[in-house]
Copies of this chain bind each other. A is one copy, B any other.
Amino acid sequence: MVQSTQHPPHIVVSRLPLYLRCLMYMAAEGHKVTSSKELAEKLGISSAQIRKDLSHFGEFGKQGTGYDVAHLIEQLRSILHVEHEWPVVLVGAGDLGHALVHHTTLVNRGFRIAAIFDKNPAKIGLQWGTLVIQDVQDMAQVIREKGFRLAILAIPAQEAQQVADRLVEAGIKGILNYAPTTIIAPPGVRVEYLDPVIQLQRMTYYI
């Protein structure tokens, strides 16, 4: 199999985390092997698409025997660079930040909140789990010292661009933005969005 030295299309890359999530549930349920057909049924994606997507990155299954679940998890973790946990900076200690810190969503999936920043004096100094909420004024320095690369923005829209600029200047390469606004970032910095209204409007178009 020929592996391209270029990145596959982003749409292909964007499906890999879905495969990984599904495989991890299967592993947790005790499945040792699976097939593109079984994955297709669980994911609502065609088995041909799944095989084609995976073929961009190597040969993971055997004709007739399917995929070894643990092996495919390991490979996908390696491809997505989540073999180890990434420390993530959280900016904004509101309800959303609270949910992210206190729930198990991130655990065992490649990420942990490693620092929390807020500008509200009433929040600074509070302890959330093992972390103490820090002053956003110290954010850039902490990011540089620790070499953090990922950040989650859970702050109001009107502050998002300015804080994003400071994150990028301090060395952040990926921003997950919960603020309901677009962020402009320089080349080499990726931004992903979580705005429930955008997702809802993508459904109401069809209803």
Contact = CB atoms under 8 A, between A and B. Distances in A.
A152 B192 CA distance: 20
Interface in A1-55: 7, 10, 13-14, 16-18, 20-22, 25, 41-44
A102 B96 CA distance: 11
B150 A200 contact: yes
Nearest to A179: B105
A194 interface: yes
Interface string A126-150: 0000000000000000000000011
Interface stretch (A63-71, A79-87, A115-123): A79-87
A100 B206 CA distance: 23
Contact of A106 (B17, B106, B196, B203): B196
Interface residues of A, number: 63
Q: Which of A7, A152, A182 has the most CB of B within 10 A?
A: A182
Contacts of A75: none
Nearest to A182: B43
Interface of A: 7, 10, 13-14, 16-18, 20-22, 25, 41-44, 79-82, 86, 88, 94-96, 98-100, 102-103, 105-106, 109-111, 149-150, 152, 157, 173-174, 176, 180-182, 184-185, 190, 192-207
